[in-house]
Amino acid sequence: MRRESRRTSRPHASSGFLNLWVREAERGETEGRKPRPVAVGVRIARPKGEDLLVLFPITSQPPSPDRFAVEIPEIEKRRAGLDATLRLWIILDEYNQDILGRSFYLEPEPPLGRFGKAFFLPLMKEFIARRADTRGVNRRR
């Protein structure tokens, strides 16, 4: 069993993760193709310390206009420990769910960095408002 620190899994932290896109899961794939940064969006406390994480992928591929995605400003890329020279987006209309402490996909500490609350919290409020239009992949074992 892997153990991740609380720092790795705090909301608005960025960490490495083997993200599985919804389209890949729908084709029967079970493993992410490559490690990528993700934003820890939500952490839900559960019994026995097996907290549920909601993880949003970060990509350098421009999303289509119909996607719920936000380009990451340069200052936020720096705070999150991401490459500030690349254009990067947080994809918010799809996510992975995983269990802290049992994840085989979340890279252990240290986190890459953290997004500022002023940037990230409004995104989470909008995610909650649009929750019915989002899709997730359950990575829990």
Sign of CA dihedral 80, 82, 85, 88: negative
DSSP state of 63: P
More confident residue, 26 or 2: 26
pLDDT tens for 57-93 read 999 999 999 999 999 999 999 999 999 999 999 999 9
| Residue 4 reports pLDDT greater than 50 | no
**Domains in the chain, start-ordered, CATH in brackets?**
13-138 (2.30.30)
Strands 94-99 and 135-138: parallel
Q: Is 57 left (phi over 0), alpha (psi -120 to 50) or beta?
A: beta
72 with 58: CB under 8 angstroms?
yes
pTM above 0.75, yes or no: yes
63 with 91: CB under 8 angstroms?
yes
Determine the Cα–Cα distance for residues 77 and 112; give it in Å rounded to an integer.
Answer: 10
- Closest C-alpha to 138, from 101, 104, 98: 98
Number of Cβ within a 10 Å radius of residue 80: 26
Determine the Cα–Cα distance for residues 114 and 14; give it in Å rounded to an integer.
Answer: 6
What pLDDT score was predicted for residue 9? 53
